[in-house]
Amino acid sequence: MADQKVMNRYYPPDFDPSKLLPVKAIRPKRTPGPRQMSIRMMMPFTMRCSACGEYMYIATKFNSRCEKIPGTTSLGLNAYRFFGSCKHCKAEFVFRTDPEHSDYVLESGGSRTYEAFKDADYAEAEVARAKAEEEGNSESVALESKIYDTAEETRRIEELGELRAINKREARRDIAIDAAIDKLTKSIEEENEAAIRAQEEAEFEEEFRALKKQHVEMNHSSTKSSSVPSSSSKLNFGKLGIKIKPKKI
């Protein structure tokens, strides 16, 4: 890397530093409007491109440009606009954040697919709002709703008690099963140890008998060889000059 690093620069003889322009003069002027920054993000929803009909599914990563929308805030949160391009035809699509509803709004370049959870949330909110209005207009409806809520709460408490009782029974059963398994495992281990000890004792006894038999045979052969002298012993005695008298018959 040291040889590739430029240590010196060439300056021509007619070089005049006063003729150099500042960086601000060379850099192009920024276009008017909000400043944009390039970020990589994921699709927050599933959409269909209006130019080629290609689908871009939720959590698809893509490069985008982001800018702050001036003058649009909700609960102190700023709104931002994102510019992206289709992965198939490179057509541009634009969407922005919606802090008020905790969602995104597709402004141009495509159409969002049907999202069932949004309709479900909207329907639930509408039912809750209608129920609140009805309870506010009629005291009997409010009393009936309160009685129903109390009964529902009592039912849920009873169900919770039943679930707790079931969990306790299951826990006791699991403890009993574990104890039985431990006892069975322990008895099997004891039986295995007893069988191993018996086998070792039998092998030891058999080895002891074989050694005892071998010892007896060795003693018998040594006594026999000492009672009858061999020819080699005679030769040894002759070499030593000892005469052995023959036995008289």
pLDDT of residue 232: 46
Alpha-carbon distance of 207 to 201, in angstroms, equals 10
Contacts by residues 66-71 (CB-CB < 8 Å, ≥ 24 positions apart): 66/36, 66/37, 66/38, 66/39, 66/41, 67/33, 67/34, 67/35, 67/36, 67/37, 68/34, 68/35, 69/34, 69/96, 70/34
3-state secondary structure 142-190: HHHHHHHHHHHHHHHHHHHHHHHHHHHHHHHHHHHHHHHHHHHHHHHHH
Q: How confident is the model at residue 39 (pLDDT cuts 50, 70, 90)?
A: very high
Which carries the bigger pLDDT value, residue 2 or residue 214? 214
Instruction: Please give the biggest Cα pair distance in the chain.
Output: 152
Q: Which of 39-53, 133-147, 215-229 has the lowest mean pLDDT?
A: 215-229
Query: pTM, whole model, 2 decimals?
Result: 0.43
99 pLDDT higher than 60: yes
Instruction: Identify whether the C-beta of residue 110 lies closer than 8 Å to the C-beta of residue 93.
Output: yes
149 pLDDT higher than 90: no
Mean pLDDT of 5-27: 83
pLDDT of residue 231: 47
248 pLDDT higher than 60: no
Alpha-carbon distance of 47 to 130, in angstroms, equals 32
Most confident by average pLDDT, 99-113, 122-136, 217-231? 99-113
Alpha-carbon distance of 54 to 113, in angstroms, equals 12
Q: How confident is the model at residue 235 (pLDDT cuts 50, 70, 90)?
A: very low
Q: What value, to the nearest 5°, has the Cα angle with vertex 244 and ends 242 and 249? A: 170
Mean pLDDT (the chain) is: 81
